[in-house]
Structure 1
């Protein structure tokens, strides 16, 4: 008989192997119970899920300056050499774009609430 055959027989039928198998089974059962009791701190609790609320309005009757974000356009600088792409951006501030966004903000918010979509997505597509 080869050594590997003897080792497998001893592993299967020896008293130490049976004891080890029982210890392993009881330990794995204990580990499974411990894992189910641990809570993920990143997930909301059941109480938090029950008390969901709609987000607060970002404006009342007029657009508050602190609630608006600056809108900018980006231009890429042309590459000087044919093989080198610098990937640099210049920010071009546009007063017309900012006025347009402010003029449609209330309507976009109302339409977004009615149709369950984000107003910012509509504004970005319209700009």
Structure 2
């Protein structure tokens, strides 16, 4: 399963070596309907409503947030607090506790 997630992350976009502001702009533009929107890939890959990652089960929505967190970290956003703020800015709402847990898990995951 880790290999599958790694492949999905590789297919999601090209590693960006631009400055931090350019990275944030890229993340903002690609997070909804773009290369960083993992909802269609998760729906296509998983037919069940819950997905196991490690010892935890995630809803599809939370699992897409987990993948987004991993990709954002790989792109060069190295602060979890900054990642939380960026997600909330993009989605124009606060993260729920399960979403924060999923985002933190993805952000800290090593694929």
Question: Does the pair score TM above 0.5?
Answer: no
Q: Which band: TM-score by shorter chain?
A: under 0.3
Greater share of residues in helix: 2
Using the size of structure 1 for normalisation, the TM-score is 0.19
Q: Which structure exhibits the higher relative contact order, with contacts defined as CA atoms closer than 8 Å and separated by 6 or more residues?
A: 2
Rg comparison, structure with higher value = 1
